Amino acid sequence: MKDVKGTIIRIIAEYLDKEESEISSSSTFTEMGLDSLDIMELVMQMQEELDRKIELSQEITTIDKLVELIEKQ
């Protein structure tokens, strides 16, 4: 299985034009400066790269929670 967290961090870092080390998996998407449109775009890219359907909900606010969700599905 692919490294889900690493893939998500890389995708977000590229999207925000930052280094992966600058992305904290416990920061909320809002704290990273992402709005709902950004998140939808990112989720589509994550689904493609991870080859998984991702059903987001309001509770999924951090990379850690997103990883947990994906690994449960």
Q: What tens digit of pLDDT does each residue of 34-54 get?
A: 999 999 999 999 999 999 999
- For residue 1, pLDDT beyond 60: no
Domain count along the chain: 1
Q: Given this model, what pLDDT does residue 13 score?
A: 98
- pLDDT, position 2: 66
What pLDDT, on a 0 to 100 scale, did the predictor assign at position 73?
Answer: 82
CATH number where 46 lies: 1.10.1200.10
Two tokens at 9? 């961090």
Task: Determine the structural domain holding residue 41 and report its residue range.
Answer: 4-72
- Tell me the pTM: 0.92
What's the pLDDT at 3?
92
The yes-or-no verdict on residue 64 having pLDDT over 60 is yes
